[in-house]
Chain A
Amino acid sequence: MANYSIDTKGLLCPMPVIKAQNRVATLNPGDHLEVLSSDPGALSDIPAWCRINGHQVVEKGQQGREVRVLIEVG
């Protein structure tokens, strides 16, 4: 298991989802990917994308204008 992070701040949905999708495609099951975003829409869109594509959201939250979603690759 390895940990990765991508910073999508400044991009609006669905770009954070697309960036997460493309990064997850290069990872292995069990790997963790942290996605940082400035779009609050990512808090709902990334978990929705994870649910339909078989990945787990380990943590999600917002501090100020920064959104963070931690994905475990399924």
Chain B
Amino acid sequence: MSEAKKVAVLVSGGLDSMLAVKVLQEQGVHVEGLNFYTGFCVEGHTHAIRKKDQKKDKRNNALWVAEQLGIKLHILDIVDEYKDVLINPKHGYGANMNPCLDCKIFMVKKALQWMEEHDFDFIATGEVVGQRPMSQRKDTMPIVSNESGAEDLLVRPLCAKNLPPTLPEREGWIDRETLYDFSGRTRKPQMALADQFGFEDYATPAGGCCFLTDKSYSVKLVDLWNARGERDYEMDDIMLLKVGRHIRPRPNFKMIISREEGENNFLQGYRNQFITMQVADFAGPLVMIDGVASAEDLALAARITTRFGKAKTEPEVTVEIRARDGSVQKIKVSPMSAADIEQSWYI
């Protein structure tokens, strides 16, 4: 008897990839999961940072899916390589800074590389024709197969019947007749199949976990690139774009103002990399200064800082400005009125 063929499935933790794994398991092939970490798959991050979210269920959905279905899951760190995908997407961006088509091509390419290195036979995704406006369209799905190099080794079990037969189907490794013909944005067929498989719990259908599809996050990323004069980022930049209010009162610096205790604690970890400030003697946020700020800029930032704490109605308050080396300077300022904070400063 021949050994079961081995398939690596891209597992995001959402319902579609969960179903794709289950459909292939039913075919008797050996399934293992691949999950890619770009730095922007950040639901867990905000839960970890914000105090109000810390009581929320912290399960990692990809790990949870793998455990439910009894498969191994390999989480691959692609943070560095992903930079080029985001900065130079051949197929452009979606509604925000989401390079969905290039992202999918890149992930399938990485999966193909993993497949070859680990002696697997083919790869699969939970993609559905017409499900997403950029990467899951009838005309773009072949682009993913072709440009990733996966060609007909890429199986989409949920919509395979809408696509040409792949090698695993033609060779009889899996039975095309038992695959599906889902299409469009409706989630009903997936939910019905989930019921059929007895899945009582799964992550929110079609719930994206990528911050690049978020308008507010994308605006902050573009602002960062514009302010620095180059399209580049480090891991800390990705993290800090998710934290606090961002206000840019002058082109040469911006303020990151924590909104609650969890963010305060998180920003504390960056105190040796940035100038920080906080109102003395009153409750208020920790504020980080990103950029090069003059003494005049810091005085302006101090006045804005007072606006976001308990001292905002005082005639004059002391603000402690901490340099990167730990030295602290105290200045007295009058709190800025809400009307004086220009709306255009908010990023």
Residues of A near any B CB (own CB < 8 A) = 10, 12-15, 17-18, 21, 39-41, 43-45, 48-49, 51-53, 65
- Docked-complex contact B77 and A15, CB < 8 angstroms: yes
CB < 8 Å neighbour of A52 from B49, B58, B66, B265: B66
Interface residues of B in 61-77 (CB under 8 A from A): 63-64, 66-67, 70-77
Instruction: For B54, give the chain A residue with the smallest CB separation.
Output: A40
Tell me whether B250 is interfacial, beta carbon within 8 Å: no
With A13-B44, A17-B75, A65-B265 known as contacts, the answer to whether A48 contacts B60 (CB < 8 A) is: yes
Chain B proximity of A42: nearest CB distance (Å): 9
Tell me whether B45 is interfacial, beta carbon within 8 Å: yes
Tell me whether B176 is interfacial, beta carbon within 8 Å: no
With A41-B44, A48-B67, A52-B63 known as contacts, the answer to whether A14 contacts B265 (CB < 8 A) is: no
- Docked-complex contact A52 and B72, CB < 8 angstroms: yes
- Docked-complex contact B58 and A44, CB < 8 angstroms: yes
With A18-B37, A18-B77, A48-B67 known as contacts, the answer to whether A41 contacts B72 (CB < 8 A) is: no
With A12-B239, A40-B54, A44-B58 known as contacts, the answer to whether A51 contacts B67 (CB < 8 A) is: yes
- Docked-complex contact B64 and A48, CB < 8 angstroms: yes
A46 to B273, CA, bound (A): 29
- Docked-complex contact A18 and B58, CB < 8 angstroms: no
Tell me whether B47 is interfacial, beta carbon within 8 Å: yes
A44 to B49, CA, bound (A): 16
Residues of B within 8 A of A13 (CB): 44-45, 48, 58, 60
Residues of B within 8 A of A15 (CB): 37, 77
- Docked-complex contact B60 and A17, CB < 8 angstroms: yes
Chain A proximity of B58: nearest CB distance (Å): 4
With A40-B54, A44-B58, A45-B60 known as contacts, the answer to whether A10 contacts B49 (CB < 8 A) is: no
Residues of B within 8 A of A51 (CB): 67
- Docked-complex contact B58 and A45, CB < 8 angstroms: yes
Residues of B within 8 A of A12 (CB): 44-45, 48-49, 239
Residues of A within 8 A of B72 (CB): 52-53
- Docked-complex contact B67 and A52, CB < 8 angstroms: yes
With A49-B73, A53-B72 known as contacts, the answer to whether A14 contacts B64 (CB < 8 A) is: no
A48 to B60, CA, bound (A): 9
Residues of A within 8 A of B44 (CB): 12-14, 39, 41, 45
Residue contacts A-B, CB under 8 angstroms, 26 given = A12-B44, A12-B48, A12-B239, A13-B44, A13-B58, A14-B60, A14-B75, A15-B37, A17-B60, A17-B63, A18-B37, A18-B75, A21-B74, A39-B48, A40-B54, A41-B44, A41-B47, A45-B58, A45-B63, A48-B59, A48-B67, A49-B63, A49-B73, A51-B67, A52-B70, A52-B71
A3 to B297, CA, bound (A): 51
Residues of A within 8 A of B67 (CB): 48, 51-52
- Docked-complex contact A40 and B48, CB < 8 angstroms: yes
A49 to B49, CA, bound (A): 22
Residues of A within 8 A of B74 (CB): 21
Instruction: For A43, give the chain B residue with the smallest CB separation.
Output: B58
